[in-house]
Structure 1
């Protein structure tokens, strides 16, 4: 059975009600362009959800064994549809104050797992 890896990433959103409404609308079922969903699936991402609370977004992503973040980034940089989507999303998103340069979504580190407890 292939091993899945779960990733949890965070990003802030412009808290204005218009920005939040627009961002949520773009992410409704059928909202993202088909090319974006194809790009995500083709990279080895098996599951992806974005959650929202206040001015924070959380992305939960599960990837298969062939997923490479570097390969995904390179493919995205070369794809004009993905670049157009990213430019559109930049209007709503705000990098976390501690995000490294050039990094938008920041990965969280797991510090607890019930499965590992006695």
Structure 2
């Protein structure tokens, strides 16, 4: 599904956060990997229905924004993504640079954010 074929009401947006290890050299390496993702990673992301994905950083805190079709089943599609070529290898490699948030449950990486304000609502 391409973005130009759907309207804003057909899209759901997820916001998640995760920390990087607070080491400038590791952060620089992490960003280098994201400048040229392995093709299997981007293909996998698209194949499970993710329409767009962006990651922002301030200091060592990251926020990921994912846009998906309104009917997207997050848990099912993320589980499917994990089974696709090179995804597990990528996740293991990225964990060298990442660390859980202080309040994350054991084994939890990217944590969902809760909306607390919206101007137009």
TM-score by length of 1: 0.89
For structure 2, which runs of at least 5 residues remain unmatched after alignment? 1-6
1:11 maps to 2:11? no
Instruction: Output the CA distance in 1 between the equivalents of 2:11 and 2:26.
Output: 33
Q: Once the 2 structures are TM-superposed, how far is the Cα of residue 34 of structure 1 from its aligned partner?
A: 0.6
Task: Note closer, same or farther for the CA distance 1:56–1:37 as it changes in structure 2 (3 Å cut).
Answer: same
Distance in 2 of aligned mates of 1:47 and 1:81: 20
When the two structures are superposed, what TM-score results if normalisation uses the length of structure 2?
0.87
Name the CA distance, whole Å, in 2 between partners of 1:41 and 1:71: 14
Of residues 89, 94, 97, the one that matches 1:89 is 94
Deviates more, 1:64-73 or 1:16-25: 64-73
Q: For structure 1, which runs of at least 5 residues remain unmatched after alignment? A: none
Q: Counterpart of 2:38? A: 33
Total equivalences in the alignment? 114
Whether 2:118 is the aligned partner of 1:113: answer yes
The corresponding residue for 1:49 is: 54
